Amino acid sequence: MTAAYVHQRDGVVKLTMSASRPKTGQRPIGTAAGRQPGTATRLTTAMNPTTARPGTRGGAAAAGVALNAQVTVVDRPMTQQGLGGMKTAAKGMRQVHDRTYYLGLVRSKVNELNSEITRLNKEIENISEENSSYLTYEKRAEILASEIKDLQGELGDYNTLVDKLTTDEDIQDVEFDLNDLRTANEREAKKIEDLFEVKKKKEETIKQLEHELDQEKRMADNLVNDMNPEMRQKYFRLKDMNEHMLKQLESGQQELDVLNSKTEGLQEELSMSQVKQEAVRLYEQLNELEMKRDSLIEEAKSTTSPAEEREKLLKQVKEDNQEIASMERQTNEFREKTDSLREEIHQLDMDIEENQGERNQKYKELKKREETMEEFLTTFETVKSQEHQKIGELEQNVVSLLEHISRNMGRFQALPSQNELAEMKEDLAFKEGEMKKSEYTSMGLAHENEKLREDLEKVEQLEDKIQTELAMLREKIANMEAELVTFRDLDSLQRKSDDKKQKLQADRVILQKRKETFKRNLKQLNATYEKLKSDLNDNETYTQLGNLERKWQHHEQNNFVMKDFINAKTMECNYRPISKRVFVGVGEYNAQLQSQMANNPGV
């Protein structure tokens, strides 16, 4: 390819190349490098497809440049990159390849192989050992895993126990739970047993069915055996055919499956690429068109000669034309008819409108008149009576007015003069002023009256008080007078006081004496008490008793504290009131629900 390109670009080079080409191009590589000193030949060797080096590297453009500048090409150190150089490089460093050298090489390799083999052997041994140990370890791991499972179960039990303890649950609750679980377990066990029985039954039935099947088979065999030879042969033949068909069916099914999967795969592929879809579409079009073409060809085949066809067609056309003409005529007739009818209708409408307009107006007017007359007739009586009443009232009014006027006429003669009127007016004003004044005074008097009444009440109260005071004072006076009698007799008083004094003094003496004796007695008693006390303290049993008492006290105290604690705990743990409350609440709720349900059972 590169060579052809060069030829097109440069005519001069073309000439030189064409001169040397046929010879060098077909020569082997090694000889070309050694014998041909020409630059042109060198280039061709470089261009040779077998070497492929410069061509691939430089590409087409590079080759072109090189050809244009010929002098530079000569200077190039082509030997280094040429094939001659390659040859020397490929050869080994040693010039003499004798037997011992190779022996040594082989030995070293053998040694290496041996060492490698031993290494691999060791590795294998290690692995087998590890394998064996791995097995034992696995076993142990399994054992340990089972142990861990057991221990975990135990731990769970303990945890639940601790939970119960910490939540202060009653042992009754725990027992209750236990019973629940036990009953549930029993139920499950029963279920399992039932299932097992069912399974057994099923197995039995299966066995029975198998047995029956065997019997049937045997019966069939017997039947076959009993048949005459022709029938038997036919039977066998049919049997073989059946088997054969079955096999075929199976294989066909498999094939179908394979094809289905294939089509699916292909369809997927199709959906992936647009080009293929396009192709499918085109194929479909092609199919359609082909079908069309086929049908057309068939038609063409079926048709008779063109002349007959033409006649036929002409006939058909004529018939059609005739038919069309008759149809048009008919339509025209119908159209005319409809037009005439329409006109008639229009005229009739006009007549009706004209007649109705005039008559309607008259009729309406007459009706209005009739209505007004009827109204007048119906309301005439009432209106008449109303008018009569009005007339009566007016007459009465006139009479009363006339009476009034006549009375006033009578009075007119007795009226006073203007001066007199003025005097009378003055009088009136004066008297009115007087009246107002007297009213004021009466109001003031009423006020005063109230005040005085209040005063009177107060005075009465005071009187009551004074009377009670008077009674008290009288009592006091009586007392004082009584006392006066006693106090008048001073001597007797003196005597009395003296007596009292003496008595009190005597008492004092006695009491002092008593005090002394008391003191003495007390001292003695104290002494005896002290003595007894010391005796008691010396007594061993007393001390022991004391110690015991103290101990007892301590115990009692402990007891009390414990009792308190127990009481508190029992109070804490007492769930009965709560449970009672809950039960009551549930009962109420149930009752409410029931009543609701009873009230509107639809909900």
Partner 1 sequence: MYDLAGKGGGASIVLATSNDQRHPPENMLDGSDDTFWSSTGLFPQEFILSFGNTADVQKVSITGYNIRHLQIEKSTSPDASSFEPVTEKDIPQTDGQLQVQDIDVRTKASYLRFVVDAGYDHFIAIYKLNVSGNA
Which residues lie near partner 1 (CB under 8 A)? 510, 513-514, 516-518, 520-521, 524
| Minimum distance from residue 500 beta carbon to partner 1 (Å) | 15
How many separate helices (H) and strands (E) can be counted in the chain? 17, 0
97: its two tokens:
């390849």
Which amino acid would we find at residue 195?
L
Alpha-carbon gap, residue 468 to 475, rounded angstroms: 11
| Minimum distance from residue 515 beta carbon to partner 1 (Å) | 9
Of 467 and 526, nearer to partner 1 (C-beta) is 526
SS3 of 205-233: the string is HHHHHHHHHHHHHHHHHHHHHHCCHHHHH
SS3 of 32-80: the string is HHHHCCCHHHHHHHHHCCCCCHHHHHHHHHHHHHHHHCHHHHHHCCHHH
Of 451 and 531, nearer to partner 1 (C-beta) is 531
Of 510 and 545, nearer to partner 1 (C-beta) is 510
Of 202 and 513, nearer to partner 1 (C-beta) is 513
| Minimum distance from residue 459 beta carbon to partner 1 (Å) | 53
Alpha-carbon gap, residue 389 to 376, rounded angstroms: 19
Task: Give Cα separations from 344 to 303, 335, 347, 348 (angstroms).
Answer: 57, 14, 5, 6
| Minimum distance from residue 518 beta carbon to partner 1 (Å) | 6
Of 297 and 510, nearer to partner 1 (C-beta) is 510
Buried b (16+ CB within 10 A) or exposed e, 279-292: eeeeeeeeeeeeee
| Minimum distance from residue 534 beta carbon to partner 1 (Å) | 21
Of 467 and 517, nearer to partner 1 (C-beta) is 517
Of 87 and 501, nearer to partner 1 (C-beta) is 501
| Minimum distance from residue 536 beta carbon to partner 1 (Å) | 21
Of 487 and 518, nearer to partner 1 (C-beta) is 518
Of 246 and 522, nearer to partner 1 (C-beta) is 522
Of 513 and 569, nearer to partner 1 (C-beta) is 513
Which amino acid would we find at residue 31?
T
Alpha-carbon gap, residue 76 to 65, rounded angstroms: 14
Read off φ and ψ for residue 479, nearest 5 degrees: -55, -50
User: What string of DSSP letters covers 88-107?
Assistant: HHHS-S-S---HHHHHHHHH
| Minimum distance from residue 501 beta carbon to partner 1 (Å) | 17
Would you say 26 and 49 are in contact if contact means Cβ atoms under 8 Å apart? no
| Minimum distance from residue 528 beta carbon to partner 1 (Å) | 12
| Minimum distance from residue 525 beta carbon to partner 1 (Å) | 11
| Minimum distance from residue 507 beta carbon to partner 1 (Å) | 9
The span from the first CA to the last CA of the chain, in angstroms, equals 97
| Minimum distance from residue 531 beta carbon to partner 1 (Å) | 15
SS3 of 507-539: the string is HHHHHHHHHHHHHHHHHHHHHHHHHHHHHHHHC
Count of CB atoms within 10 A of residue 82's CB? 19
Residues contacting residue 30 through CB under 8 Å, at least 6 positions apart: 83, 84, 87
| Minimum distance from residue 516 beta carbon to partner 1 (Å) | 8
| Minimum distance from residue 495 beta carbon to partner 1 (Å) | 21
Of 157 and 516, nearer to partner 1 (C-beta) is 516
Task: Give Cα separations from 556 to 317, 543, 561, 569 (angstroms).
Answer: 140, 19, 9, 19
Instruction: Quote the radius of gyration of the chain (alpha carbons, Å).
Output: 77
User: Among 147, 28, 22, which Cα is nearest to 84's?
Assistant: 28
Would you say 41 and 32 are in contact if contact means Cβ atoms under 8 Å apart? yes
Of 461 and 528, nearer to partner 1 (C-beta) is 528
Of 237 and 514, nearer to partner 1 (C-beta) is 514
